[in-house]
Structure 1
Amino acid sequence: MANNRMEANTPPPSVSPSIQTVTKTTKQKKRTSQWIWYIFLIPSFLGIILFMAYPIVESLRLSFFKSNGTIETFTGLDNFRTVLTSGPFWNAVWNTFFIGIFQVIITIPLGFIFATLINSASKGKNFFKVIYFLPNVTSIVAAAMIFQFVLHPEMGIVNFVLDSLGLPTPAWFSDPSTSKWGVILLAVWHWIGFVIIICIANLQAISKEMYEAAKIDGASSFQQWLFITIPNMGGTFAFLLITGWIGALQRFNEVYVLGGPNGSPARSIQTMGAFIYERGFTGFEFGIASAATYIMFLIILVFTFINLKISKLKL
């Protein structure tokens, strides 16, 4: 008992100064190594500040000024009033929505059908994936230039086929009544590969046990597709709808290549992005261009919110 009491009262051995020094040195090295990783993030942060944050703030400031790039005059909300009462702006809004709506309602169902066929194929899945996805990795500028030849009213292959079938041959990008449909064909061709790949990824994630249970119950292949496949694709359709709409509302590159900043012929394919470019970099009305940019941002924000609500997703 006495020995146990003496052991209990014995103070713990003190840590030698050398061990304490080693421990402190190790902690300092760890802290230093952690800070080194943050140093590598500095270029990314500078890039975000210079090329994203600053343009956003500067564009907001310019929207309240009449500016040609050198001389500025404060005008308050006059730039927003000018844009909202501009006929060409609302024409650009109409063109943007017309092309975007038909791009989405054509590409998503068509891409889903192609994805279903590819996913059910026994051979050649990877080949068809590559073939359909190639347009998506092609530069949209290059694709637009190719479509100028494909849809040429006299030498284009599309009109050659239509003429061979005895059908009317549109002037496509030379006629205001058909130019938007030419852009829609280009948008569908360029985007459908992305839709197919995303749909195939979700199709492969659907449980096979559901299909096996449906087979046991006597469901046909079409019934399985209708009552199992489509309901399980809801999240994918919502994602494609939102991303498709955002991309459509920001459309600029292809319409600029096909019709210039004013969307020739007769502003029939000028989108909101092209309108902003025309007023800013052709007319040097940077205040009006900045105001139009924020109006476009609000339009995109509103329709994204509506799409999320329709798709029963939470922000």
Structure 2
Amino acid sequence: MSDIMPKVNTNVSLPVKKKSKNNYVWYIFLLPTFLGIALFMAYPIFESLRLSFYRSNGMIETFTGLDNFRRVLTSGPFWNSVWNTFFIGIFQILITIPLGFIFASLINTVSRGKNFFKVIYFLPNVTSIVAAAMIFAFVLHPDMGIMNYFLAKIGLPTPMWLSDPSTSKWAVILLAVWHWIGFVIIIFLANLQSISTEMYEAARIDGASGFQQWLYITIPCMKGTFAFLLITGWIGALQRFNEVYVLGGPNGSPARSIQTMGAFIYERGFTGFEFGIASAATYIMFMIILFFTFINLKISKIKL
């Protein structure tokens, strides 16, 4: 039988495909992307780091070492901007994430019209924040605004929203919640629909009510989503600039009550032409964001 079977030559070597020189052409197509990253991201980062050690007005530079960092850390307006940033960010997150989760849970129970509610709630998020801030400036106008009109109709006091330091922060919080809540609802909905229905069926068989299922199944399964939204919300809140600039200018009027860290950096850099101070403040803000992101990751027990 072995004599009949043909012998296979195992020593035959397969031809090795040589790498064509034409393959290097593809790297040329990647070159514009790498150039863009180097020019518009890497260079500004390192140039800002360099400027943080100089006293610079854009034309004349004098090396000052760590003096810019000292001046920022001992500046009253800077710490005021830090307070405003945290105040607005904390209340935005405390309102938006729980409220978005409740709305998402309610929408998830609807048998018809889910896509309609998704679109309605997500529309503010696709709106430009600058346009939204301009609209809110009109909505919150003390005399012609819609908000005070309805408050007066139901007999409530009508605040001077953007003209009073005690209410201006809440005006920004209202805008932030309105603009961000659609994104929160969509993220929660996507994860709610990924929870296995078998868990709910088993809970119903055991006699669990709808509220108990939501409390003991839905909420624990959404732990990762809560952590994700908390981290992204913090990062976005600590970098807030556009809406406060539109509503209160670079100095966060009235009385710097809504000036954030981003607005402080803009004011010092492009209004006061203190680019060294602005660069130092930028890196201090970066360290603050990095620190709180690390804390959030530790609390959430998410591994990097």
TM-score class normalised by the smaller sequence:
over 0.9
Among 90, 94, 116, the alignment partner of 1:105 is: 94
What is the CA RMSD across the aligned residues, in angstroms? 2.0
Match of 1:35 in 2: 24
Distance 2:125 2:108 in 1: 19
Aligned to 2:282: 293
Displacement of 1:314 after TM fit? 1.2
Query: Which digits, 9 at most, give the CA deviation of each residue in 1:104-138, with x for residues without a partner?
Result: 00000000010011111011100010000000000
- In the alignment, does 2:237 pair up with 1:251? no
Aligned to 1:56: 45
Aligned residues: 300
Q: Displacement, 1:35?
A: 2.2
- Tell me, in whole angstroms, the C-alpha distance in 2 between the residues paired with 1:311 and 1:211: 25
- In structure 2, the partner of 1:309 is 298
Match of 2:32, SS state, is helix
Give TM-score scaled by structure 2 length: 0.95
Q: Which residue of 2 aligns with 1:240?
A: 229
Equivalence for 1:90: 79
Q: Pick from 122, 141, 161 the counterpart of residue 152 of structure 1.
A: 141
Deviation per CA, 1:70-96, whole angstroms, max 9, x where unpaired? 000000000000000000000000000
In structure 2, how many angstroms separate the alpha carbons of the residues matched to 1:202 and 1:74? 52
1:27 alignment partner, SS class: coil
Displacement, 1:37? 2.4
Tell me how far apart the structure 1 counterparts of residues 217 and 95 of structure 2 sit (CA, whole Å).
Answer: 22
Where 1:172 maps in the other structure, the secondary structure is coil
SS in 1 for 2:55: strand
Q: CA deviation at 1:285?
A: 0.2
Partner AA of 2:85 in structure 1: T
- Say whether residues 1:164 and 2:153 are aligned partners: yes
Larger Rg: 1
> Residue by residue, what CA displacement relative to the aligned partner does 1:31-69 show, whole Å, maximum 9, x if unpaired?
52x323222111111111001000000000000000000
> Deviation per CA, 1:170-216, whole angstroms, max 9, x where unpaired?
10001000000000000000000000000000000000000000000
In structure 1, what is the equivalent of residue 261 of structure 2? Answer: 272
Please, which of 102, 108, 128 is the counterpart of residue 117 of structure 2?
A: 128
* C-alpha separation in 1, matches of 2:246 and 2:145: 17
| Cα deviations by residue, 1:245-298 (Å, 9 ceiling, x for unpaired) | 000000000000000000000000000000000000000000000000000000
Give, in whole Å, the separation in 1 of the partners of 2:155 and 2:297.
45
Which amino acid in the other structure matches residue 151 of structure 2? L
CA distance in 2, matches of 1:239, 1:54: 30
Please give the secondary structure, in 2, of the residue aligned with 1:230.
helix
Tell me, in whole angstroms, the C-alpha distance in 2 between the residues paired with 1:84 and 1:306: 22
Match of 2:250 among 261, 265, 275: 261
Query: Aligned residue for 1:139?
Result: 128
Question: What residue identity is the alignment partner of 1:308?
Answer: L
1:7-26 matches, within 5 Å, as none
Counterpart of 2:156 in 1: which secondary structure?
coil
Matched letter for residue 131 of structure 1: I
Q: For the residues of structure 1 that align with 2:33 and 2:160, how far apart are their CA atoms?
A: 47
Structure 2 counterpart of 1:44, one-letter code: T
Which secondary structure state, in structure 1, belongs to the residue aligned with residue 18 of structure 2? Answer: helix
Give the structure 2 partner of residue 176 of structure 1. Answer: 165
1:28 shift after superposition: 4.1
Measure the CA separation in 2 of the matches of 1:250 and 1:28: 47
Unaligned runs of 5+ in 2: none
Please give the secondary structure, in 2, of the residue aligned with 1:168: coil
What is the aligned counterpart of 1:69 among 54, 58, 62?
58
* C-alpha separation in 2, matches of 1:103 and 1:245: 9
Q: Which moved more, 1:286-295 or 1:157-166?
A: 157-166
- Whichever residue aligns with residue 160 of structure 1, its letter is Y
Q: Distance in 2 between matches of 1:201 and 1:87?
A: 44
* TM-score calculated relative to the size of structure 1: 0.92
Distance 2:234 2:198 in 1: 34
Counterparts of 1:154 and 1:121, CA distance in 2: 40
